């Protein structure tokens, strides 16, 4: 622990969105339990974070340069921390990529893996040995609720969680659904304007005129705020060694978990999502708008408190 008994919390990807709100919320903890090291690739993008942190900046919150895509940057960042001591690592940095697969280059796909997968592994490899020696620590990975629908990476985390229990190091997954951030808004705007060379006309039509409208409806109606995710993460940190491995932040996505485990072949979830997207699209649009109107946006603030 840091001076005064504060836990040292290192967070990746803090220039905006979820990472920014996590850093500010922990730095402003009423009990002053945390010293937050908020990291980003380019400190020129620090202004929003510094403004949001207010008086906490320079006291319970400090900044550091970190690019999770390079070994050297990761090592320099951790070496810059006193005694290389990190109590809580929050792997939040990530990028997204959507569109017909045949229109996406291998280089673009590799860049996603470099950040979202290998970036996380780099961070874990750099802090895990010290945590194991101290017999204490908490590693948190901000994943996605879609990890429950066959997205890669999660098996690796699960195996590591079992091993680390022997060293009293806890590992937790934070699994949000849609979150209202500049990152998501910009990504949707960008893909609307793309041409998707290499994809056939039918696929582009389904993507732009079926998938994207449905995706926007879901984001507008069910989307949470970065603060919602930050609150869930803070609760997970507070629970320490008793924290759950998987932490779904939005209860409205619980049916996805049910579909995943309802039958062993996986066919139920595949066919359910097919019908929702291609057969019930117009009905789903009307239903989402009705939910948005009737609830006045109240659904957005509902989160699961990890117990």
CA gap 25, 27 in Å, rounded = 6
Q: Could you tell me how far CA 28 lies from the centroid of its own chain?
A: 21
CA nearest to 11, candidates 103, 89, 111, 109: 89
For tokens 């290389």, the residue is 84
Distance in angstroms (rounded) separating the CA atoms of residues 226 and 183: 11
Question: What is the phi/psi pair of residue 175, to 5°?
Answer: -120, 85
Tokens standing for residue 242: 């008793």
Alpha-carbon gap, residue 85 to 9, rounded angstroms? 9
Nearest to 19 by CA among 83, 89, 79: 89
Q: Which of 57, 157, 211, 261 is catalytic?
A: 157
Q: Active-site residue 206, yes or no? A: no
- The pairing of beta strand 7-11 with beta strand 34-40: parallel
Residues annotated catalytic, as ranges: 157
């Amino acid at each position: 622990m840091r001076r005064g008994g504060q836990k040292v919390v290192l967070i990746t990807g803090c220039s905006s969105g979820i990472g920014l709100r996590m850093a500010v919320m922990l730095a402003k903890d009423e009990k002053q339990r945390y010293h937050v090291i908020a990291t980003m690739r380019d400190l020129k993008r620090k202004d929003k974070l510094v403004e949001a942190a207010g008086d906490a900046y320079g006291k319970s919150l400090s900044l550091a340069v970190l690019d999770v895509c390079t070994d050297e940057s990761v090592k320099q960042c951790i070496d810059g921390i006193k005694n290389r001591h990190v109590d809580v690592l929050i792997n939040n940095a990530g990028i997204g990529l959507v569109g017909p697969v045949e229109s996406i280059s291998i280089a673009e796909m590799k860049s996603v893996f470099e950040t979202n997968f290998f970036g996380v592994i780099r961070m874990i490899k750099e802090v895990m040995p010290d945590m194991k020696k101290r017999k204490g620590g908490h590693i948190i990975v901000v994943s996605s609720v879609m990890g429950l629908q066959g997205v890669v990476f999660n098996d690796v985390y699960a195996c590591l969680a079992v091993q680390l229990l022997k060293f009293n190091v806890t590992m937790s997954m934070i699994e949000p659904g849609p979150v209202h951030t500049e990152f998501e808004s910009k990504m949707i705007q960008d893909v609307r304007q793309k041409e998707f060379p290499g994809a056939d006309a039918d696929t582009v039509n389904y993507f732009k005129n079926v998938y994207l409208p449905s995706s926007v409806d879901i984001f507008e109606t069910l989307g949470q705020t970065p603060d919602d995710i930050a609150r869930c993460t803070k609760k997970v940190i507070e629970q320490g060694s008793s924290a759950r491995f998987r932490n779904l932040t939005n209860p409205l996505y619980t049916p996805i978990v049910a579909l995943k485990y309802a039958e062993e072949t996986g066919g139920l979830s595949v066919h359910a999502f097919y019908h929702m997207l291609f057969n019930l699209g117009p009905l789903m649009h009307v239903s989402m708008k009705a939910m948005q109107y009737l609830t006045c946006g109240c659904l957005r603030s509902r989160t699961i408190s990890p117990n």
